Amino acid sequence: MVLNQATLKRDGVQDYVSLRATALIIAAYAVFIVGYLALTPELTYEAWSGLFDNLAMKAATIITLVCIMVHTRIGLWQVLTDYVKCSTMRSVLGFVLNLMALAYVAVGLFVLWGV
């Protein structure tokens, strides 16, 4: 087995750990949001806006958005390599779907830090 540490290619262990770590962060964020919705007696625009005005909440949201993108990229790579046999089609689909994932993060940042 050749181990070349200079390459930027992923390996199975890195994908496994990345998927599990991002899943935990996404789940923790989702549990927090569901808990907030359940425990807030009257959910108004002011309460929701106040939650997202907090810098810690903005940071947690950004981290979660990036984790969703990483989770999506790895999952798409696995699904596309398993089910799309044509390499050209796989490359095009991978590019378009990864571009969409990046666009979702960009839109999320604009919404989060918007006026």
Domain boundaries, the chain: 13-114
Confirm if 21 and 74 have CB atoms less than 8 A apart: no
The shares of helix, strand and coil residues in the chain, as percent rounded to the nearest 5, are: 80, 0, 20
- Fold entry, domain 13-114: 3 helical TM bundles of succinate and fumarate reductases (1.20.1300)
Q: In the chain, pLDDT over 90 holds for what percent of residues? A: 80
Q: What's the pLDDT tens digit per position in 44-83? A: 999 999 999 999 999 999 999 999 999 999 999 999 999 9
Query: Given this model, what pLDDT does residue 113 score?
Result: 85
Predicted TM-score (pTM) of this structure: 0.83
Q: 71 labelled as ligand-binding?
A: yes
Q: 36 labelled as ligand-binding?
A: no
